[in-house]
């Protein structure tokens, strides 16, 4: 409660100072609140780990980073290893040729996030690129599926990273997979470059995921209401805020009276 309340207040008061960016010119998001992250079988040759270890890294990445945001409704889950032998994810181009990245429909992911290894040099703009991600199956403003390609060329930079760094790299790519672009803030997970010894999200990452996947809260900040939602919504929101504050103050006094340490 305390943590949620604090993060929500921070988000409300700093909403106008966003430094995170979106993958697209507008917000595109998964429709569901729970998204599985699966791994394609049989494509990794040069990154020093198999699909099961990638899944364990995914589990650590979501626990350590994105699933810790109390103001976001999105929950990422490590899924399973999938046999997708009819599609060559190991050597396919993530984008159609051209200046802008138009996702390759031949590699479209039908549901959630798919991680694969890939060794096609054209997918990685330089040998230093660790991985690349595209939400490659979109319907309107809804992401159906996203594809993460780990650089699996024989001289890839991913293989020499520590396990903690690999967790941070996968977490960064997961940020792209659900709609975030790069942040200008250097201590953000979504900063374009890796940051040594990173172990948690930055403040800007919290704001980014909360912007895309806001969790309903019992209080409201200074937003303007759409009249079409109903004339009483604003009044009800303020009423909810007052009731919430009254309950918190009441409980504080009660706990003090009982000589217990207040929790709020
Ligand atoms: Zn990136």
String of DSSP letters for 61-111 = HHHHTGGG-TTB--EEEEEEEE--TTS-TTT--SEESSSS-EE-GGG--SS
CATH annotation of 27-212: 3.40.390.10
Ordered by start, the domain boundaries in the chain are 27-212, 221-264
Taking the centre of ligand 1 as the mean of its atom positions, its distance from the CA of residue 132, in whole angstroms, is 7
Share of the chain above pLDDT 90, in %: 61
Q: DSSP code of 216?
A: P
Q: Is the pLDDT at 16 greater than 70, yes or no?
A: no
Per-residue pLDDT band for 157 (boundaries 50, 70, 90) equals very high
Q: How far does residue 81's CA lie from ligand 1's centre (Å)? A: 24
Q: Residue 18 CB: number of other CB atoms within 10 A?
A: 14
Q: How far apart are CA 17 and CA 148, in angstroms?
A: 29
| SS3 of residue 176 by DSSP | helix
180 CA → ligand 1 middle, Å: 9
Give the model's pLDDT for residue 169.
96
Tell me the pLDDT tens digit for each residue of 32-64.
999 999 999 999 999 999 999 999 999 999 999
What is the 8-class DSSP label of residue 227? G
**How far is the centre of ligand 1, averaged over its atoms, from the C-alpha of 125 (Å)?**
12
State the distance from the centre of ligand 1 to the C-alpha of 187, rounded, in angstroms.
14
> 194 C-alpha vs ligand 1 centroid, how far in Å?
9
Residue 181 Cα, ligand 1 centroid: separation in angstroms? 7
Residue 195 has which token pair? 């940051």
**118 in Cβ contact with 42 (< 8 Å):** no
Tell how far the Cα of 88 is from the centroid of ligand 1, in angstroms: 23
Q: Quote the pLDDT of residue 193.
A: 85
Among 180, 120, 182, residue whose Cα is nearest residue 146 = 180
217: confidence class by pLDDT, cuts 50, 70, 90: confident
According to DSSP, the residues that pair with 109 across neighbouring strands are: none
Q: Is residue 65 scored above 60 in pLDDT?
A: yes
Q: What value does the mean pLDDT take over residues 198-218? A: 91
What is the distance in A from the centroid of ligand 1 to the CA of 260? 47
- Among the ranges given (46-55, 92-101, 108-117, 217-226), the one the predictor scored with the smallest mean pLDDT: 217-226
Contact 73, 213 (CB under 8 A): yes
Tens-place pLDDT, residues 162-181: 999 999 999 999 999 999 99
- Cα 176 to middle of ligand 1, angstroms: 7
Mean pLDDT of 217-226: 59
What is the C-alpha separation between 58 and 111, in angstroms, rounded?
Answer: 17
Mean pLDDT of 237-264: 57
CA of 131 to the centre of ligand 1 (A): 8
Q: Is the pLDDT of residue 222 over 80?
A: no
User: What's this model's pTM, rounded to 2 decimal places?
Assistant: 0.76
Phi, psi at 38, each rounded to 5° = -105, 165
Residues 142 and 114 sit within 8 Å (Cβ to Cβ): no
Comparing CA positions, the residue from 2, 7, 67 lying closest to residue 207 is 7
**Residue 243: enclosing H or E segment and its boundaries?**
helix 233-257
């Amino acid at each position: 409660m305390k943590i949620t309340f604090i993060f929500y207040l921070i988000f409300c008061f700093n909403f106008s100072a966003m430094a995170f960016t979106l993958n697209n010119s507008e917000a595109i998001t998964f429709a569901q609140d729970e998204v599985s992250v699966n791994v394609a079988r049989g494509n990794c040759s040069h990154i020093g780990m198999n699909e099961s270890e990638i899944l364990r890294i995914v589990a650590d990445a979501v626990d350590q980073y994105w699933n810790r945001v109390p103001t976001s409704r999105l929950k990422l889950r490590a899924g399973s290893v999938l046999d997708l032998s009819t599609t060559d994810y190991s050597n396919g181009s993530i984008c159609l040729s051209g200046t802008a990245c138009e996702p390759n429909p031949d590699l479209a992911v039908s549901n959630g996030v798919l991680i694969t290894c890939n060794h096609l040099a054209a997918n990685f703009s330089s040998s230093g690129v660790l991985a690349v991600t595209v939400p490659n199956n979109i319907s309107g403003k809804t992401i159906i599926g996203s594809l993460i390609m780990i650089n699996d060329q024989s001289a890839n930079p991913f293989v020499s990273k520590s396990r903690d760094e690999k967790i941070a790299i996968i977490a960064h790519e997961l940020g792209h997979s659900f709609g975030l672009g790069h942040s200008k803030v250097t201590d953000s997970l979504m900063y374009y470059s890796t940051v040594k010894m990173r172990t948690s999200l930055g403040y800007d990452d919290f704001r980014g995921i909360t912007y895309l996947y806001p969790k309903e809260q019992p209080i409201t900040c200074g937003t303007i209401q759409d009249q079409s939602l109903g004339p009483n919504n604003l009044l009800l929101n303020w009423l909810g805020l007052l009731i919430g504050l009254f309950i918190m103050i009441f409980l504080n006094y009660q706990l003090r009276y009982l000589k217990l340490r207040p929790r709020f």
